[in-house]
Structure 1
Amino acid sequence: MKYITTIADLREVHKRNVPKAFFDYVDRGSYSEDTLRANQADLQKLKFRQRILVDISKRDLSTTILGEKASLPLICAPVGSTGMQYGDGEIHACRAAQAAGIPYTLSTMSINSIEDVAENVEKPFWFQLYVMKDRGFIKELIQRAIAAKCSALVLTVDLQVIGQRHQDIKNGLSVPPKIYSLKNMIDFASKPSWLIGTLRAKRRNFGNIAGFVKDANDLESVSEWTASQFDTSLNWKDIEWIRSIWPGKLIVKGIHDVEDAREVLKTGAQAMVVSNHGGRQLDGAPSSISVLPGIVQAVGSDIEIMFDSGIRSGQDVMRALALGAKSCMIGRAYVHGLGAYGEAGVTKALDILAKELSVTMGLCGVNTIAEIDGHVLVK
């Protein structure tokens, strides 16, 4: 890995190591992918002010996230089906994040279950919740997260209707994968390390929903249940119900509008994530970085604001912090590392981001995360 220097390098190895259907699931977006591209393009438009002759010998990347110390202003975002990128992927990613001193968020639609991860890591992790029609299932999920001592609940609110991702349909994406199609058989056979690792893994289906579907190993049963369960009637009152069950810190993820940001304040949530689901939901929506300043101006003094969608470098992290975010969620960036080299790849991804952030801070003349604000950007 010594010649791996960027997240883009990890992405290329990930692409070679993992079957196309699962790589594309992480890498691609919805419809024409305009929002996916805008997320990165608009970050790149923000230019830094280079400063000189400032003592930058004591640079410190540590910060606090929801009152807890973190070595970096980063959080591993919830990513569904991570265990299909690398065997027991959620466990490996969580271990790497915790070793690096940052939070890890387990998705509702993970391969490894809440209990699988809790049994194999040393510290509490965050859990991400999709609210589904079966409220008994949701209540039990929250109770399982409490039993596993999850330290925060991330409520995703921008997936009431699933945005169509054309490439997933073209690839015939499924969990577990359909090995009986000729195209998949050829693709899987060309990825022996991935195939062996996946077959040896603890699970190859959605661990958190096992027991709620007649046969969690039957693709059609799982697909039909999942498709029927996303709740289009979800509204602000449902958050009150969730709060009545969940006693800990609540983060609302998927905020992209000032009016919605103001509504989040009324819920008593401790944080919100400015996010457009990485360009995987409403295509044609503006980039997350373009709406961040307005949301920060409206509610930033009243709630902790996290940023998501488009982060591919430590410089992107600094750009988001400069516009008012307190920390950033990364999804594709760490999953590219996971798909490339497993746990060591996630560690490499976090190391790349940390070094890029540190160097950029130095060249902009700042020593701490708290010093980063709009003055580091060209007006």
Structure 2
Amino acid sequence: MTPASIEDFRELARRRLPRFLFDYIDGGSYAEDTLRANEADLRQLKLRQRVMRDVSEISPGTTMLGQEAAFPVALAPIGLAGLYARRGEVQAARAAEAAGIPFILSSSSCCAIEEVGRGVTKPVMLQLYMIKDRGFMAELLARTAAAGVETLILTVDLIVHSPRRRDLRTGLTGQQGLAARMTRAVEIARHPAWAWDVGLWGRPHTLGNFAPCMPDGAGLAEFTAWVGRNFDASITWADLDWLRQHWHGRLAIKGILDPDDARDAITAGAGTIIVSNHGGRQLDGAPSSIAALPAVVEAVAGRADVLMDGGIRSGVDILRALALGARGILLGRAWAFALGAQGGAGVTRMLELMRHELAVAMALTGQRDVRTVSRDILVDG
């Protein structure tokens, strides 16, 4: 099967991966209402078809997060991506570099920042959570700078971990007793190709960036428990003063849905605002990212770049987000599905599809340059 859409990659990943891993990336929190809204609200936006506009040359290139991007896409941080393919974060970073777009490494990745950095020729970016152990945070920031990273993405919407019912049902989270281990073992046995390629040869299966501060081990079960004890729910905008003492590169804030929070983020020194509801994995019932985007763009008023993630499944969706004011978008589930389906080659194929779909959508709406796309391309917009 040659994938022709994100849904095709999703189906291939569903077949190849143990269920507890597939559901981890496919699912959201609670009833998954916000997860579904992310996609549904994008599809409600109708595009104006325009003709006779001379679209013989399309310019998809832009800048995002201080880097040149061949088209307005970056790969969003995905935790545990090293479990979707052998050393998955390295494979995905290479695919992003080959496509000419930024790659953002999750701090909860299997491959540490140093390993990923060695796998590419240009620096990647790092996503970070605020944790209580500021001494360790300072060490991680120093490691990040030493690896050549120039841009830090601070995620602010995971101060507490929202329950994800699918993960409880599959035994990925919750009680880690014999029953949970047996459930996972049965799923692994049902997927021998994954067990051989990733389960055996993709080791070590640890959280590389956090391993030094997890004395009880850096595996999945230990990490889930560690998050609850160590993610800092007390943070305020004042904590960015501490962050700025230890990080002197670019700073983006990810997890903004409210215009007032966007204004506060800019006051605190953010150069980029990323509109995101964590892919529907945190506050269920929150608005979709695309619904929240226009008000945030208005509040920012050009003082910072605005990006968004959540629900993007095609190049047409990318164009919809640009129409409502995003400078670019972050792809999350899309590249996780592609990685789980076909490894780095799948990510490369997925990005080719996205870029082609975006170019076609631009041509059929009479757009020649992604940097000049506006709300005018929307029907009744």
Taking structure 2 as the reference length, the TM-score comes to 0.95
1:191 aligns with 2:164: no
SS at match of 2:307: strand
Q: Unmatched 5+ residue regions in structure 1?
A: none
RMSD (Å) for aligned C-alpha atoms = 1.8
Provide the C-alpha distance between the structure 1 equivalents of 2:338 and 2:151, rounded to a whole number of angstroms: 24
State the 1:122 CA deviation.
1.4
Provide the C-alpha distance between the structure 1 equivalents of 2:146 and 2:173, rounded to a whole number of angstroms: 30
Aligned partners of 2:205 and 2:219 also within 8 Å: no
SS at match of 1:211: helix
Q: Quote the residue 2:359 is aligned against.
A: 358
State the 1:218 CA deviation.
5.8
Q: Quote the residue 1:66 is aligned against.
A: 65
SS at match of 1:11: helix
Provide the C-alpha distance between the structure 1 equivalents of 2:226 and 2:183, rounded to a whole number of angstroms: 27
SS at match of 1:357: helix
Aligned partners of 2:170 and 2:184 also within 8 Å: no
State the 1:179 CA deviation.
10
Q: Which amino acid aligns with 1:271?
A: T
State the 1:191 CA deviation.
1.4
Q: Which amino acid aligns with 2:336?
A: V
State the 1:65 CA deviation.
1.4
Provide the C-alpha distance between the structure 1 equivalents of 2:240 and 2:288, rounded to a whole number of angstroms: 26
Q: Quote the residue 1:309 is aligned against.
A: 310
Provide the C-alpha distance between the structure 2 equivalents of 1:179 and 1:347, rounded to a whole number of angstroms: 38
Q: How many residues align?
A: 378
SS at match of 1:315: helix
Q: 1:181 to 1:215 in 2, by over 3 A?
A: closer
Aligned partners of 1:93 and 1:346 also within 8 Å: yes
CA deviation string 1:182-234 (max 9, x = no partner): 43333212212211122112420111111212232565544332220011101
Provide the C-alpha distance between the structure 2 equivalents of 1:216 and 1:100, rounded to a whole number of angstroms: 36
Provide the C-alpha distance between the structure 1 equivalents of 2:177 and 2:320, rounded to a whole number of angstroms: 38
Q: Unmatched 5+ residue regions in structure 2?
A: none
Q: Quote the residue 1:29 is aligned against.
A: 28
Q: Quote the residue 1:237 is aligned against.
A: 238
Aligned partners of 1:214 and 1:221 also within 8 Å: no
Aligned partners of 2:65 and 2:151 also within 8 Å: no
Q: Quote the residue 1:125 is aligned against.
A: 124
Q: 1:178 to 1:145 in 2, by over 3 A?
A: farther
Q: Which amino acid aligns with 2:247?
A: W
Aligned partners of 1:107 and 1:129 also within 8 Å: yes
Q: Which amino acid aligns with 2:326?
A: A
Provide the C-alpha distance between the structure 2 equivalents of 1:180 and 1:155, rounded to a whole number of angstroms: 32
Provide the C-alpha distance between the structure 1 equivalents of 2:147 and 2:219, rounded to a whole number of angstroms: 27
Runs of 4+ in 1 over 4 A off after TM superposition: 174-180, 217-221
Aligned partners of 2:207 and 2:219 also within 8 Å: no
SS at match of 1:342: helix
Provide the C-alpha distance between the structure 1 equivalents of 2:102 and 2:151, rounded to a whole number of angstroms: 10
1:328 aligns with 2:329: yes
Taking structure 1 as the reference length, the TM-score comes to 0.96
Q: Which amino acid aligns with 1:193?
A: A
